[in-house]
Structure 1
């Protein structure tokens, strides 16, 4: 208890000197030059300036203007890269959706028709059952690649 009382008294005695040490004064000399100091000048009127202390500046605030500009350019380049990447991903997503719809539509046609007619070299012919099965497998593969959740993980 006695120690706490001594510490409290010492702190109370040191407090005015800490406050005085943190004071900053501003004055203008006879040549119009502005000065700052931690003591009030004798024979002159001075304005007490409020100074914030105890906070450290971030590394970005301490950086030179050139470094700040470079950091801003780097941030802008990164933002542009992310936007471009998003646009590419959007285009890929739309292409997958179109591929999926086309594959599903073709599978529906193959499943609903026993005979499928195609035109080759200006002549029409029917696909053989083997050719129909090949086409069905091809469209199933396209649908699996583009319609399922794995398609979004490209």
Structure 2
């Protein structure tokens, strides 16, 4: 009983290797087509691709662009522009708040640290915040 389970398990392990085996074809001396997993010596054998084809994706409706579909594209662009404007306004507000905080507070902790920023570091942070305000607020 144990040996049959072991042999079954081993055969199952070998199945993928057998499925990947190469197949060759050639015509023998009598004119018959021969198929084998090994090409014979001194014969011009051709290797065949016998892998199972990949199942195609389910057929969907063909994509046909109609004139009526171009109008929603314009409204989609308008929606994207509106979303971008909203994000830009949020970033502008955050940049202004950050600049205000840096300018009003005398001592600032460095990001990710408990150490206080030196005056040089604080001034650099203020310059960067001013650049951010210019970028996001067009000022």
Give the TM-score normalised by structure 1. Answer: 0.44
Q: Which has the higher helix share?
A: 1
Structure showing the higher strand proportion among its residues: 1
Larger Rg over CA atoms: 1
